Structures are given as structure tokens and as C-alpha cells.
Amino acid sequence: MHDPFALPPLVEKILDILPADQEIYLVGGAVRDLLISRISPDLDFALPSNGISLARTVANALNADFIPLDDERDTGRVIVTNEDGTRISLDFTVYRGANLDEDLHARDFTINAIAYNLRDKTIIDPLEGGNDLRQKLIRACSPTAMLDDPVRILRAIRQAAAFGFKIEKNTRELMKQAAGQIGRVSPERLRDQILKILEGPKPDASMRALEMLGVLPHVLPELVPMKGVQQSEPHMYEVWTHTLAVLDYLDQIISALRVGYDAESTNDMFTGLLTLRLGRYREQIAAHFASPINVDRSLRSLLFFAALYHDVGKPETKTVEESGRTRFFDHDMKGAQVAADRARAFNMSNDEIDRLRAIIKNHMRIHFFADRVLNENQTPSRKAIYRFFRESGEAGVDLVLLGLADVRATRVHALTIETWNAYLDVARILLENYWERPHEVITPPRLVDGHDLIKEMGLKPGAVIGKLLEAIRENQAAGKIENREQALAFARDEIAKGINGAA
């Protein structure tokens, strides 16, 4: 089979750099993606020897970054940074086994065990991965593929969702049998696969697959007790099914608010109203997700991780009242701690853990705002908006999106237009103030500082100074204080009232 696809120009450059007699193959996902006309962000090359030294040669010639990735397996990585800031990883790896054939047989799935000879332009496909690609099937390369590296269980689920493929029946059995071995995998590798699953399409179906294959207790054990925990109305589902529905609706909501989405294409009335009311913020939402906390992990995947854990505190906090109503007091606070513990076990950064905690701890606030709109015809006050963003910061945007997904997954087909409009009112008000009136309501400029209060009021340094300054800012946000004189007058009044022992 000759010239099955057009090679990226970068590959042609690499061939020019290497000696003319260098045996080299493009392998794995890069070949798979080229065969199905996808753009692969990374390129893997297999060689008989000298992986690290050849990678260094290529990096030097391309003026790119070089990392000796694995001394034991003689693997070097070249990172090419494009003009637009995007990066491409080029991995140069020595064969696993005595030759290319052994290398391909030792890989995870047949669709990733196809090689392309860059010298004679031929495909090498000993496991008929090309046929599985056409049949949209994920099949293990060998009976020991999952036991050899149990993280492949997560990779199978992720790739099935990413490509819209099915996992072959025997491979599913191998995955089930190896599920108990996944604890051998490092927390970082598990974390990366879970976040990639949540980043990709159909995160709800992928999580359901983890559950059905018996993987969940070994990767995300805190989620297991959620299954079967019943909830009172207006909830239509028990906690676990509700959580999966939140993932699905969150995916739909973010998709409908992306730049370039055709609002005319939806036949769902709720999505139509969403795009009508919040579509003006597409660019800002895109910019929000384009500013990750960690360069290696997306903000979108972190939000989906928070959505997965937002009700994890419910099993432990469940109470049933005499009336028969089920309540979950403080499940938001409890859940925030459980999620933070899991994130810490996954070696996420402190900033990521703080964001997770902020989302889960505050996820009920949107519902309180919407209830007031519905029951009292009261929209959030400027002071309430200020406090919301004071507590949540940049996570406020995530909370708006999660809140919309949460109410859809709560009421499902029983959701009324009136209720949905109340939630959209709250979402619009919060986002409008955050993006269009930040200096008025979200972060009003400081009119006085602690030194001013000490000097003007004769106060002593202490906690009361901080309380007064925060009270001033709240009233600025509410539009009641506009200048330094008003700020000082307000402080004097508070002291006269005896604020927390200040007088």
C-alpha cells in the first residue's frame, strides 16, 4: 500500500535532517489519525536504536526544545512551538522488543498498532488495525494488553468516546478482568486519563462505562456510594444518575455557547433560550476556558471534574424528615472537601484544588438566587452579586454554567419555561456584572485603606479594620458609597453603632 495520505510538512523536514539510510517509522496514534483524516497534535516515531541522540539532532536542527524522556527505553522528545503558540510533541522511541513487529504487538489497541515506513512509503499493519478502523472497533493487541498496563482500560474508554467507536466484546472482558490492577498505575497517569475523558465528548457515557466495567471503585472510589441514593422532588433521578445527567447537560450548554455555534440549528427550546439570553458572552466564555490554571490540563476538564463531584457529599449527609422529604444539609461543604482530597491524591496543583473547592462549595447559590426570582420576584442585589464573586472569584463563571446544567439534570422533562427563564435571568445578571460592570460591582476601587481608618478614626490595628474595609467595599458595590468622604462617614457611623466592639 503506497502513499495512503499526505504527510505533515514537519515530517518531511525530519526526513531531511536524518541520515538517508536511517530506518524510521511513524507509529501509533499519528498513523491512526492520518488514516481517518484527523490532525494529530503529537507524532511518534519508532527506530531500531539511538532514540535520544536522534531526537537531540532533530531538536537542534529545528531550533526546538529537547527532553530526554526515558533513558531506559532510549526515548527522546522534541517540542516544536508554532508561531501561534501551539506545541507539537515529537517522540523518538526505540522498538519495544527485538524489531518493529514485536513493538507493534506490544501496543495497546490494533488501531494504534499501525506503522508507516517513512522511507518506502508503505503501511505495516500486522494486527489488521486498518480493518478495525473501518469497522470503528477498539480491540486489544493481545490477551495481556490490559494487565501489561492497566491504564489502557481508561484509554480504551476515552478513545471509544473520542472516535465514536465500540469496544470489542473480548476486549471489554479483558478490561473487566484487569480493573482490580489499576491501583498499580501512578496517580498522575490516572489523573491525566480521567481529565482527558472529562475533556472529551460524551463524558457521561464514559463515566457510565467506568462504572459498568467495575473500574470506578479503583479510580474514583468516592463516587460509588452515590449510586441509588434517592432524592425528593423536584429531583427526577437518584444522585448518581443525576450526576451523569449534569455532565451531559454541561457538555451541551458549553457547546451551545461556543464561538461559531449555529443557534438556528437547535430544535431544543431550552437551548434556544440559552443562546438567545447568553449568546452575547460567547467570546468571554471562550477566553475564560482558554486561560487554564495548569498549562498541561484544561479548565474545561477541571469544571467537569467539579461537576462529577458536586454532589459527592450527599450520601453522607442524607436525612429523611417526618414528612418524608429527603434533605442533604451541608452536602456542598462536605463535597468540596472530598473532591479536594481526591484532587490532592491525584497530585493536582494547589490552584486547581482551590478552584474545585470554590465551585463545589458554592454550587447551591445559583439555586437560591433562582428560587428568589421565582418565589419573590427578586433578582440578585448588587451586594449579593458582589458577595457571590467575592466567594467564588473566577470560578463564578464556572458556577453559572454548572448551575444551568444542574437544574436541567434535576427537573429534566419537568423543567418549565418559567423556571428556566428564572435561571437564565440569574445567569445573565451575574455574567453581565462580571464582564460589563466589574469596577462598579465586582471589584470596586479601594477608597480608603487601613492607615486612613487608623489616622482618621483613631482606631488601633486589629480585625475590626478589615471588617470595616470589607463593609465599605460591599456598600460601594451596592452603589451606596461613591467617594472617600462617604466611605469615612460610613465608617464613623459603624463605629458609633459599636461594630463588633470597635467603639
Q: What are phi and psi of 326, to 5 degrees?
A: -90, 135
Residues 236, 215, single domain; the answer is no
Could you tell me the CATH number of the domain that includes residue 209?
A: 1.10.110.30
Question: How far apart are alpha carbons 23 and 18 in whole angstroms?
Answer: 10
Residues 390, 480, single domain; the answer is no
Residues 400, 461, single domain; the answer is no
Whole-structure pTM over 0.85, yes or no?
Answer: yes
Residues 173, 117, single domain; the answer is no
Residues 214, 71, single domain; the answer is no
Q: Which residues contact 117 (CB under 8 A, 6 or more apart)?
A: 25, 123, 124
DSSP code string of 105-127: HTSSBGGG--EEETTTTEEE-TT
CB count in 10 Å sphere of residue 117: 14
The pLDDT, as a whole number, for residue 496 is 85
The pLDDT, as a whole number, for residue 499 is 61
**Nearest one of 189, 196, 212, 110 to 161, comparing CA atoms:** 196
- Total of domains in the chain: 4
Mean pLDDT (whole number) for 439-455: 90
How far from the centroid of its chain's Cα atoms is residue 468's Cα? 38
Residue 230 has pLDDT above 50, yes or no: yes
Question: How far apart are alpha carbons 499 and 503 in whole angstroms?
Answer: 7
Q: What are phi and psi of 418, to 5 degrees?
A: -60, -45
Question: How far apart are alpha carbons 174 and 399 in whole angstroms?
Answer: 39
Per the CB < 8 A criterion, the answer to whether 342 and 195 are in contact is no
What's the DSSP call for residue 2? B
The pLDDT, as a whole number, for residue 93 is 95
109 confidence band (pLDDT: 50, 70, 90): very high
Residues 53, 123, single domain; the answer is yes
User: SS in 3 state form for 10-26?
Assistant: HHHHHHHHCCCCCCCEE
Q: Which residues contact 120 (CB under 8 A, 6 or more apart)?
A: none
Residue 183 has pLDDT above 50, yes or no: yes
How far from the centroid of its chain's Cα atoms is residue 118's Cα? 36
pLDDT tens for residues 21-50? 999 999 999 999 999 988 888 899 999 999
The pLDDT, as a whole number, for residue 503 is 37
Q: Which of 399, 417, 442 is the last residue of a domain?
A: 442
CA dihedral 248, 250, 252, 258 (to 10 degrees): -150
Residues 277, 184, single domain; the answer is no
Domain with 495, as residue range(s), is 450-501
502 confidence band (pLDDT: 50, 70, 90): very low
Weakest mean pLDDT among 1-5, 66-70, 473-477: 1-5
Type of residue at 52: I
Type of residue at 386: Y
What's the DSSP call for residue 96? S
Mean pLDDT (whole number) for 222-238: 96
**Nearest one of 448, 453, 455 to 502, comparing CA atoms:** 453
pLDDT tens for residues 277-317? 999 999 999 999 998 898 889 999 999 999 999 999 999 99
Could you tell me the CATH number of the domain that includes residue 27?
A: 3.30.460.10
The pLDDT, as a whole number, for residue 501 is 43
Q: Which of 417, 442, 467 is the last residue of a domain?
A: 442
Residues 332, 469, single domain; the answer is no
CB count in 10 Å sphere of residue 340: 20
Q: Which residues contact 262 (CB under 8 A, 6 or more apart)?
A: none
CB count in 10 Å sphere of residue 457: 17
Residues 57, 189, single domain; the answer is no
The pLDDT, as a whole number, for residue 320 is 93
Residue 150 has pLDDT above 50, yes or no: yes
The pLDDT, as a whole number, for residue 1 is 45
Residue 111 has pLDDT above 90, yes or no: yes
Query: Which set of grid coordinates corresponds to residue 30?
Result: 499519528
Weakest mean pLDDT among 152-166, 420-434, 467-481: 467-481
Q: Is the peptide bond before 234 cis (omega within 30 degrees of 0)?
A: yes
Residues 429, 456, single domain; the answer is no
Type of residue at 387: R
Query: Which set of grid coordinates corresponds to residue 386?
Result: 458582589
Question: How far apart are alpha carbons 299 and 347 in whole angstroms?
Answer: 16
Q: What percent of the chain has pLDDT over 90?
A: 82
Residues 22, 90, single domain; the answer is yes
Q: Which of 105, 135, 165 is the last residue of a domain?
A: 135
Which residues partner with 115 through β-bridges?
27, 124
Which residues partner with 245 through β-bridges?
none
Strands 115-117 and 122-124, by their bridges, are antiparallel
Residue-averaged pLDDT of the chain: 94
352 confidence band (pLDDT: 50, 70, 90): very high
Residues 166, 62, single domain; the answer is no
Q: What are phi and psi of 346, to 5 degrees?
A: -85, 5
Weakest mean pLDDT among 86-100, 218-232, 372-386: 86-100
Mean pLDDT (whole number) for 5-25: 89
Residue 3 has pLDDT above 80, yes or no: no
Helix and strand numbers, DSSP H then E, in the chain: 25, 11
- Cite the DSSP H helix spans in 200-290: 203-212, 216-219, 239-256, 269-278, 282-289
Rg of the Cα atoms in the chain:
28
First vs last C-alpha separation in the chain? 88
